[in-house]
Amino acid sequence: MINKNESLNVTLNLQTDNKNIKHFICIFVEHITIYLFYFFKKLSLIFIVSDI
């Protein structure tokens, strides 16, 4: 039989895992947007240069 303390520990662990996952996703999204931003900036520069 699982005592209350253990089940509480499990739920706490799950909550911290969720926080870590959310944190990771936030960082990941941030990096992707920055990368895309630079990528499009480079692309636009290339197009501007090729137009001339």
pLDDT average, residue stretch 37-50? 84
Instruction: Return the pLDDT at 12.
Output: 75
Phi-psi region of 3 (alpha: psi -120 to 50; beta: other; left: phi over 0): beta
> What SS3 state is found at 2?
coil
How do the domains of the chain map onto residue ranges? 25-52
3-state helix, strand, coil in the chain (%, to 5): 90, 0, 10
Q: Which residue has the tokens 């001339």?
A: 52
Q: Express each pLDDT in 3-22 by its tens digit.
A: 777 777 777 777 778 888 88
pTM of the model: 0.49
Whether pLDDT at 43 is above 90: no
